[in-house]
Amino acid sequence: MSAVAVDVVLGSTSRYRAELLRRILPAFRQVGPDVDESRRDGEAPAGLAVRLARAKALAVAARCPGAIVIGSDQVAALDQIVLGKPGSVERARAQLSACSGRSVSFHTALCVVDAAGAPREALDTTVVRFRDLAGQEIDRYVAAEQPLDCAGSFKCEGLGITLFERIQNEDPTALIGLPLIALCRLLRASGLTLP
């Protein structure tokens, strides 16, 4: 199956995910999934990411029959506390202060639904160890990069990399929000030809 001959839909409005997907697919479209992203009582962060990736893919697949639909979700967790997108400078500073000198797990889930309707899923967990961060460092970083739309309050593809001691993962693209190694495997299983 040719990459040009099939309708591929990214079930996300994220510009970060779209930039990553362009590395492997020249042509796709984006459709917002419009799903409730609330965490259920007692739901583990990894389970939340998997459930939301599946819900996004299935919601978009219902509106795009015959397409190969990619759903993804990322949940950042400090211990079992979910770190969402901060949305404000104050919350970004508070998140980064809480992460200082600690490890944060980023659970990035994928779900691909093809014309047969069978969801294929993958989960990547990246562990980021933050350096001990002084308040002034945090203030300078947040002012420079404005990471208000990023879970965990940083952009690892930018200046956020300066905040870390180390990153442990299997796929460097997972931390940005779309694990391309696993995605290639899932797309091939759905019949899409990739280089």
Report how far residue 186's alpha carbon sits from residue 169's, in angstroms, rounded to the nearest whole number.
19
Q: How high does pLDDT run on average in the chain?
A: 93
Q: Are 27 and 48 in contact (CB under 8 A)?
A: no
pLDDT at 5: 67
Q: What percent of the chain has pLDDT over 70?
A: 97
Q: Structure tokens of 121?
A: 């899923």
- Kind and range of the H or E element at 182? helix 180-189
Q: Report the catalytic residues.
A: 73
Q: Is the pLDDT of residue 4 over 60?
A: no
- 83-101 core/surface letters (b: 16 or more CB in 10 A; e: else): bebbeeeebbbebbeebbe
**pLDDT 10s digits, 108-165:** 999 999 988 789 999 999 999 999 999 999 999 999 999 998 888 988 888 999 999 9
Beta strand residue intervals within 29-67, DSSP E: 29-30
Tens of pLDDT along 9-21? 999 999 989 999 9
Strands 164-168 and 29-30, by their bridges, are unpaired
- Structural domains of the chain, with CATH: 8-189 (3.90.950.10)
Residue 80 pLDDT more than 60? yes
According to the model, what pLDDT value does residue 3 have? 39
